[in-house]
Amino acid sequence: MSLLQTAEQIKTMQIRGAGKIAREAAAALRDHAENLPEHGLSVFFSAMEDAADILLATRPTAVSLPNAVHQVLRGLSSAKTEEEARTLVKNQADAFITSSNEAVRKIAEICAARIKDGMTIMTHCNSKAALAGILLAKEQGKTISVIATEVRPWNQGRLTIQTLNDHEIPTTYIVDSAVRTFMKEADLVIVGADAVTVKGAVVNKIGTSQIALAAHEARKNVLVAAETYKFAPQTILGKHIEIEERPASEVLPDDAAEKLPFVTVRNPVFDVTPARYIDLIVTEAGAVPPEAAYTIMQNHLGFDMKDYFPEKS
């Protein structure tokens, strides 16, 4: 699949989930670098910068995407030959994909250790990292059940319940607005993340904040499963994470909207959950309180963005 095809599939949500988006972007950059014709080092630099821009424009909220792009292209300007540059991109892309999959495994182990026999876990959207802990707990022989949300308007919850059903985990499927009603039946909440700010606030699929608020009210713990590359270092300098809004037609078909000229549809994909409603953020580096987000960024995302590309003449 070409880089343009990958970008289009990310944009149209055929490729979805922050971790998968990151891995597919890394693979697209690797394959693009390998297939570029030989025209010299400066042309290679320019082509890879253009490729990065195309990918970065697809989904503005998922921090995993720019972090993946930046890690794959880190230090590219130090390459002395075109062959060296291609090799660097390939090696760093492969390393990122491997570490991303390994991160999910480590997160699963930490989350599973906090799931006790007999627990009911509530989850939201279709997070591979969050689901991995639940699946591992079942593999460990624990008797568990899950409450999974519908996740409008794309219904990602259907992917979640299919996975849970395939692993024979008893699951209750609810509409998003029923979260507060069913929170009393849950023992623990585990969700994923698309971004984590320096203050420990979590950007995730719309509806996550109301789940965390309901859990806080009911005194139920909230765990956020998030690989370290989902932390957003740009928030250290006060930059806000853009909350993506998708087309109104995903909520209200165009033919229906045409008959309602005084109705405006808003379709934000994500919301922000304050750190005070989160008990732990579970990363491959360990489970940390939200207040430790800066330490994660410092220890695992310490890089200089000026190193990615040479200065343009």
- Is 191 in contact with 255 (CB distance < 8 Å)? no
* Other beta carbons within 10 Å of 267: 16
Pairing of strands 171-174, 145-149: parallel
Q: Residue written as tokens 């993340």?
A: 193
Q: In what order do the strands lie in the sheet with 270-273?
A: 195-196, 202-205, 270-273
Distance CA 13, CA 123 (A): 20
Distance CA 4, CA 43 (A): 19
Residues with Cβ within 8 Å of residue 152, at least 6 apart in sequence: 175, 176, 251
Residues marked active site are found at 125, 194
Distance CA 110, CA 130 (A): 11
Tell me which residue of 11, 56, 51 sits closest to 34, measured CA to CA: 51
The one-letter amino acid at 44: F
The one-letter amino acid at 202: V
User: What is the phi/psi pair of residue 224, to 5°?
Assistant: -110, 120
Q: Is the peptide bond before 153 cis (omega within 30 degrees of 0)?
A: yes
Residue 305 CA to its chain's centroid (Å) = 21
Residue 99 CA to its chain's centroid (Å) = 15
Residue 10 burial (10 A CB sphere; 0-12, 13-18, 19+): buried
